[in-house]
Chain A
Amino acid sequence: MTAHMRTSAEPAARASGARTSGGFGVVLRGIRKQFGTSVAVDDLDLDVRPGEFLTLLGPSGCGKTTTLNMIAGFLTPNQGQILLDGQDVSRQPPDRRDTAMVFQQYALFPHLTVGQNVGYGLRMRKRRPAEIRVLVADALERVGLVGREGHRPGQLSGGQQQRVALARAIVVRPKVLLFDEPLSNLDLKLREQLRLEIKHLQRELGITSIFVTHDQTEALVMSDRIAVMREGRIEQLGSPDEIYHDPANSFVAGFVGQSNLITGTCTGSGPEAGECTVRLPGAHMLPARLVGTARPESGAPVQILLRPEALRLATTSTDPTVPAGLTIDGQVTEVINEGSVATVVVRVTDALRLRVAVPDPGGRGLPSPGDAASVVIPPGVARALPN
């Protein structure tokens, strides 16, 4: 039954104009939104590719939810255009846009059963009751809630409620799925599990998805591309890998992942093209790859990014497992052991404290605060960020 529906529901989606990738593009052009005198979104351009999973990542108040609400039609931009599958929908009410949102607070209708909740959008689309029953059952199966049609949302756990909300959104096969921090009310275990489920479901259905979150891990795990936002603007748009390893600036570097951000002094161009040599506090010289628009002049201060997991800790200066590189001696001031990884903070000078990640710390005796230790910076891991 379900298998039959899968094959019959998807050609219908294709016939309605889907591209070969199975999704539809969303284009934001010069979007601006003001509330009173405060600018929430400022001249934003974004091109979401058909079928892609794009995350808007940023701290609260960065404009990511406002942007999502403008795409859904809950807010109207003061300026700019929103193109959905090539058509300008900026002035259309939400019910005229083929988008479906999964809300942070689930937003299930409390007086309706799970089946009626999931079928709501289909009823609005005037589908026949028999067809609705089959599609609802299929959607519930996809989110792992077979046979829960008769339950009330209040009888379900938070995770189950969010699965119902997900089923309610995908069952109408929207052109775009919108996610407004859907996992932030769930506990960590469930969050980690649902991340993957949503990702798999999205890939399976090929529906273009825009996901809003302030959780950088969520963004890195789920996204095809991430747009890091701050104060109504996009600071960087790129793949999770680019965002993590080549952050465009210190804001992105600080927001995504753990980082050592050190202010050094540029002393000239580096040994290789696209590098500069930086004098760290404590007079060590370190070549760093220039990122983005960074073109520091000789003698100018420059921000260096060192990811803790790229650094190595050597308790003896002749430790053979430690790769070659710049070795800096210091003293351990703090050890934070999280089980699968430990973070050791090494003080070199007052202006230079380095966080070093030690994977699988159980087996190899961690140093204690007060111990002498050396930090090795392997070649090629340092990044010089634009100011």
Chain B
Amino acid sequence: MNSRVLRAVRTTLLVLTLGFIAVPMLMVGWTSIQPDTYPAFPPSGLSLRWWGAALTREWLLPMALSAQVALASAACALLFGSAAAYTLARGTGRGRRAFEAFLAAPLLLPEIVISLSVVQLVSMLDARRLIGPTLLVATHVLIGIPFVLRTVGVSLLGINPVWERAARDLGASAWWAFRTVTLPLMRSGMFAGALFAFIVSFNNVELSLFLTARDSSTLPIRLLQYMEYEYSPTLACVAVTSVVGICVIAGVASRFARLTDFIHGESK
């Protein structure tokens, strides 16, 4: 009796949670394939009329820029974040906690404030020409690092230092032991972290707000600018396109490493 009630509660919660997550996405998806400017209920039919305007240079160029920025910042975040995570996991020094907290500090500041301070900094240094992709990548790395730090950190928890010792004992140099033992084992954590870093960069508005050049915007900024003056279900089509794009990238990545598998432990 008790367990049946418990199961019912659990099922209800699960359905509510799934629905809660799915509703916005379903709404966006639905908006993109119906004919009205403001979707009505009951729906008046299906239409692809908004897609013609979505798949044009006006939207594909910002999407490409976002992808490039996200890729570059994810790569940098991966490099710095993994190195930091390894240092934290293997280090014994007293400053470890402070170091770890410091690396996650960019998540504490409102991103808009970071963006503003970066603009102030480049103005002060008379380097406003850096505004654009270069600065975007640099600031997006800030919020990418904490994600990589976490996922790689969790991966490293499952990697027993004795494995590297065993490799050294069998004749591997320090680098080669890392390369052949630790690195392959932390790879799934690195993939997961890089994917998170890619997504937070790709969708970022606040950090990018003051840092995009007039003639080249990232996709979220372009969406924002567009909405200031008009509204069209084309926006939903653009959103669907970028979601599909990210899913494809995630799919490819998971071919190399099961993303949910970044907690390694003993391999099966």
B130 to chain A, nearest CB (A): 42
Interface residues on A, range: 20 to 34
In the complex, the answer to whether A110 meets B172 with C-beta atoms within 8 Å is no
In the complex, the answer to whether A110 meets B171 with C-beta atoms within 8 Å is no
In angstroms, Cα B177 to Cα A124, docked, is: 10
In the complex, the answer to whether A94 meets B165 with C-beta atoms within 8 Å is yes
Encode B212-233 as 1/0 by CB contact (under 8 A) with A: 0000000000000000000000
Enumerate B154-180 residues with CB–CB distance to A below 8 Å: 160, 162-163, 165-174, 176-177, 180
Residue A135 lies at the interface, judged by CB distance under 8 Å to chain B: no
In the complex, the answer to whether A154 meets B169 with C-beta atoms within 8 Å is no
Nearest-CB residue, chain B, relative to A116 = B180
Specify which chain A residues have a CB less than 8 angstroms from the CB of B239 in the assembled complex: none
In the complex, the answer to whether A107 meets B171 with C-beta atoms within 8 Å is no
Residue B267 lies at the interface, judged by CB distance under 8 Å to chain A: yes
Enumerate A196-228 residues with CB–CB distance to B below 8 Å: none
In angstroms, Cα B180 to Cα A90, docked, is: 26
In the complex, the answer to whether A124 meets B166 with C-beta atoms within 8 Å is no
Interface residues on B, range: 20 to 34
Specify which chain B residues have a CB less than 8 angstroms from the CB of A73 in the assembled complex: 168-169
In the complex, the answer to whether A152 meets B268 with C-beta atoms within 8 Å is yes
In angstroms, Cα B268 to Cα A155, docked, is: 7
Residue A168 lies at the interface, judged by CB distance under 8 Å to chain B: yes
A71 to chain B, nearest CB (A): 11
Encode A330-359 as 1/0 by CB contact (under 8 A) with B: 000000000000000000000000000000
In angstroms, Cα B171 to Cα A172, docked, is: 10
Specify which chain A residues have a CB less than 8 angstroms from the CB of B266 in the assembled complex: 110, 153-154
Q: Which of B170, B176, B181, B185 has a CB less than 8 Å from the CB of A100?
A: B170
In angstroms, Cα B172 to Cα A68, docked, is: 19
Enumerate A100-118 residues with CB–CB distance to B below 8 Å: 100-101, 103, 105, 107-111
In the complex, the answer to whether B173 meets A110 with C-beta atoms within 8 Å is no
Nearest-CB residue, chain B, relative to A155 = B268
Specify which chain B residues have a CB less than 8 angstroms from the CB of A101 in the assembled complex: 166, 169
In the complex, the answer to whether A103 meets B166 with C-beta atoms within 8 Å is yes
Task: Name the residue in B168, B174, B181 with the highest tally of chain A Cβ atoms < 10 Å from its Cβ.
Answer: B168
Specify which chain A residues have a CB less than 8 angstroms from the CB of B160 in the assembled complex: 105, 107
Specify which chain B residues have a CB less than 8 angstroms from the CB of A99 in the assembled complex: 169
A103-B162, A103-B166, A105-B162 are contacts. A111–B172 as well, Cβ < 8 Å?
A: no
In angstroms, Cα B171 to Cα A95, docked, is: 4
B187 to chain A, nearest CB (A): 9
Task: Name the residue in A121, A124, A153 with the highest tally of chain B Cβ atoms < 10 Å from its Cβ.
Answer: A124
Task: Name the residue in B166, B170, B180, B267 with the highest tally of chain A Cβ atoms < 10 Å from its Cβ.
Answer: B170
Nearest-CB residue, chain B, relative to A168 = B170
Specify which chain B residues have a CB less than 8 angstroms from the CB of A24 in the assembled complex: none
Residue B24 lies at the interface, judged by CB distance under 8 Å to chain A: no
Residue A72 lies at the interface, judged by CB distance under 8 Å to chain B: yes
In the complex, the answer to whether A110 meets B169 with C-beta atoms within 8 Å is no
Specify which chain B residues have a CB less than 8 angstroms from the CB of A155 in the assembled complex: 268
In angstroms, Cα B170 to Cα A125, docked, is: 9
Enumerate B209-268 residues with CB–CB distance to A below 8 Å: 264, 266-268
Residue B42 lies at the interface, judged by CB distance under 8 Å to chain A: no
In angstroms, Cα B229 to Cα A46, docked, is: 85
Residue B184 lies at the interface, judged by CB distance under 8 Å to chain A: yes
In angstroms, Cα B171 to Cα A101, docked, is: 11
In the complex, the answer to whether B267 meets A110 with C-beta atoms within 8 Å is yes
Enumerate B48-82 residues with CB–CB distance to A below 8 Å: none
Encode A142-163 as 1/0 by CB contact (under 8 A) with B: 0000000000111100000000
Residue A93 lies at the interface, judged by CB distance under 8 Å to chain B: yes
22 pairs from A and B in contact (CB 8 Å cutoff): A73-B168, A74-B168, A74-B169, A93-B168, A94-B165, A94-B168, A95-B170, A95-B173, A103-B162, A103-B166, A105-B162, A108-B166, A109-B166, A110-B163, A110-B185, A120-B172, A121-B171, A124-B170, A124-B171, A124-B172, A154-B268, A172-B170
Residue positions of A touching B, CB distance < 8 A: 72-74, 93-95, 99-101, 103, 105, 107-111, 120-121, 124-125, 152-155, 168, 172
Apart from A111-B267, A152-B267: 7 A-B pairs, beta carbons within 8 A: A74-B169, A95-B168, A95-B169, A111-B185, A121-B170, A153-B266, A172-B170
8 pairs of A and B residues whose beta carbons are closest in the complex:
A124-B171, A121-B170, A107-B166, A110-B267, A94-B168, A107-B162, A154-B266, A95-B171
